[in-house]
Amino acid sequence: MTKAKIKALFSRLREHMPEPTTELEYSTPFELLVAVALSAQATDVSVNKATAKLFPVANTPEAILELGEEGLKQYIRNIGLYNSKAANVIKTCRILLERHGGEVPRDRKALEALPGVGRKTANVILNTAFGEPTIAVDTHIFRVSNRTGLAPGRTVRQVEDKLLQVVPEEFKRDAHHWLILHGRYTCVARKPRCGACVIEDLCGYPDKVDP
């Protein structure tokens, strides 16, 4: 995809979604960290239902440690893999208190050292909580990047590196949110809604679906 098309693509997504953001509900970096940790292989809707009950009771590392692992499970048991997620959140709370003064670190290496936090989660935290121009590549972004020809790659890391290379600076901070929302609601996996797509004419996908 040419530089001109890439700029046009993000200009249209920005016009269509002027203030994109995560659909996870949070009010602090710590709440976001917990929500993202819980969201692996789960829907944002299911996570929001759980955190709507959890956060009014415990939304700091200290408060969640007071709940304990079994207490935490009572709030997240409707989320997939809740046993391992509860264990990781408890361990993360301890590390945050012991090494970071109870605060979420604004550092990739420190974030990725937390239990259950990989590169994708670290990118989400750095971008959404701290405004860093990182691009976390999930299933939706991987699909959109390859399907449109924006940033083709065989692996998640290849796509991430390509996006960081081709996305103009003015769009980098919000690129993650634009692409994930576009993939979630328009460029869906089985039958993309090409007729409702604002970037359809810029897309290189050869098997476009009629409206």
Q: Flag whether 203 is marked binding.
A: yes
Q: Flag whether 197 is marked binding.
A: yes
The amino acid occupying position 184 is R
CB 211 within 8 A of CB 195: yes
H-type helices in the chain, by residue range?
3-16, 29-38, 44-54, 61-76, 82-99, 108-112, 119-124, 139-148, 156-166, 169-185
Rg (CA), the chain: 18
Q: Flag whether 93 is marked binding.
A: no
Q: 138 an active-site residue? A: yes
Residue of 73, 85, 120, 162 marked catalytic: 120
Q: 120 an active-site residue? A: yes
The two three-digit tokens of residue 46, written as one number: 């299911």
The two three-digit tokens of residue 94, written as one number: 């301890």
Residue of 138, 162, 207, 208 marked catalytic: 138
The angle that helices 29-38 and 44-54 make with each other, rounded to 10 degrees, is 130
Which of 24, 20, 18, 186 minimizes the C-alpha distance to 121?
Answer: 24
Q: Which residues are annotated as a binding site?
A: 187, 194, 197, 203
Provide the annotated active-site residues: 120, 138
Q: Which residues are annotated as a binding site for [4Fe-4S] cluster?
A: 187, 194, 197, 203
